[in-house]
Chain A
Amino acid sequence: MFEEKLLLWKYNQGRKDILWRIYEKYKDGMMTLAFTLLYDKNSAEDVVHDVFMTIIGSCGRLQIKEDLKGYLAVCVVNRVRNRNKADKRHQSASLEQVVPMSADSNRPDFSAMFGEQSQRLAEALSQLPYQQREVLFLHLYSGLKFKTIAGLEEQSVNTIMGRYRYGLDKLRLLLSDEAKK
């Protein structure tokens, strides 16, 4: 907690030497978030790379008021959305549509990414609509409040909480079905 505040303070002071530590501390969290939203390793790495390039370039010019972890999570989500929009433009599909990723657990990188224990959870997550997955991860994994997520997505807090509840319920259903198999 103290280290996070110290890193944020030093970053706001423009201390570029602190970027090493910021990357080391938050890289896996950013990668996990990007991968669970995109389910593509290369795309996820590109997103993390782009986000961190922006962080490096903004050091000293940008003043981050909220916590660094939450800020980085928002940056990742924005990049993922931009990427999805660009992909959708090519595919001429709508963002509101349910976009479940194909859960091919036989893909080597999929199981290697998450490990055996988390593989079932990852498979279930891939069945969720993108918006529910996004809310779940922003709230549970990155620690953002519903109010912040609502502002980010330009939706009401009730809508965001609804997505969160439905996402958890569906996950529970998928995992119990999987267990029955």
Chain B
Amino acid sequence: MKSVNSIIKSLKKLHVPTSPELDERIFREISRAIAQAENRKSASLQPGVWRIIKFAVAAVIIIAVYLSFNYDRSMETETPKIVEISVSKSPAELTTLASLNAAFSRGGMEAVEKQLTEADKKINQRPRERITVEKLLCELGQCG
């Protein structure tokens, strides 16, 4: 007589396979279900995507308008004005060689004479006689 345990083991080993036709039928149904799920997913995403795009465009437009409005105002208020500042130089500064060279390059001998006259005025010394620049240069040893 067979023992109960061996009968139980044999029962658990029983195996009836499915036919290939059934497998194919089921796999076809599974593929269809997956495809339907994918379609539903993409369809539900589309309205959401368009909404996001609309919001993004609206946000860009608002930001652009805000920036352009503020940008014009800021240009008006923050543009630095060119202010002419006159810097008065001392007589010593006016008579330095660099200053005289700069004056010469601006306006030649007349400009140099003018600068020296200005320096003289500041010192408030009247020359006994009118000395030209050429004489002055000669006195300084620059005569050629």
Contact = CB atoms under 8 A, between A and B. Distances in A.
Contacts of A35: 16
B13 interface: yes
A53 B14 contact: no
Interface residues of A, number: 37
A56 B30 contact: yes
| Majority secondary structure of chain B interface residues (helix, strand, loop or mixed) | helix
Contacts of A49: 22, 25-26
B26 A176 contact: no
B12 interface: yes
Contact of A122 (B2, B14, B30): B14
The residue among A16, A20, A114 with the most chain B CB atoms within 10 A of its own CB is A16
Contact of A19 (B8, B13, B30): B30
The secondary-structure label for the interface of chain A is helix
B16 A28 contact: yes
A41 B16 CA distance: 9
A63 interface: no
B10 interface: yes
A113 B16 contact: yes
B18 A176 contact: no
Interface string A51-93: 0110011010000000000000000000000000000000000
A172 B19 CA distance: 31
Interface of A: 16-17, 19-20, 23, 27-28, 31-32, 35-36, 41, 44-45, 48-49, 52-53, 56-57, 59, 113-115, 118, 121-122, 136-137, 140-141, 168, 171-172, 175-176, 179
Given A31-B17, A118-B15, A172-B2, 9 more contacts: A16-B30, A31-B16, A32-B14, A32-B16, A48-B22, A114-B14, A140-B11, A168-B7, A168-B8
7 contacts: A23-B26, A32-B16, A36-B14, A53-B29, A113-B16, A141-B12, A172-B7
